[in-house]
Amino acid sequence: MDDEHKIQIEGVPLLPEDQRTVLKGYQRDMVRHVENVLSVANKSLQSNPQTLRAATMSAFGMLNWFYMWNTHKDADARAAYARTVATITIGGVPALGQL
């Protein structure tokens, strides 16, 4: 994992409580934003909060794993992978043929 990701994962518990609260608030905001995008993309998720949450956290999980298999990749590689994750998340694996 790169230095920024390592700090995010390992450094949060070392922050003072007030700073952890702010950072966790940002994280919750990001999760809510992705949930909103997914619920607009697939209206059926609006009535199924458990599936919406699972889809949201799966997208974050895919993005987080990039660092494990792609050390030393540049911003272009990250952006390309983010497009792949977005395509899978919104359109499913069959949509990958449209990339």
- Tens of pLDDT along 9-20? 788 889 999 999
- Tens of pLDDT along 45-89? 999 999 999 999 999 999 888 877 887 889 999 999 999 999 999
Look at residues 71, 68, 60, 73 and name the one whose alpha carbon lies nearest to residue 33. 60
Q: How many CA atoms lie within 13 A of 76 on its CB side?
A: 0
84 vs 78: CA distance, rounded Å: 10
| Interhelix angle 49-69/17-41, nearest 10 degrees | 110
Check: CB of residue 36 under 8 Å from CB of residue 10. no
pLDDT given for residue 17 in this prediction: 95
pLDDT given for residue 64 in this prediction: 85
- Tens of pLDDT along 30-49? 999 999 999 999 998 999 99
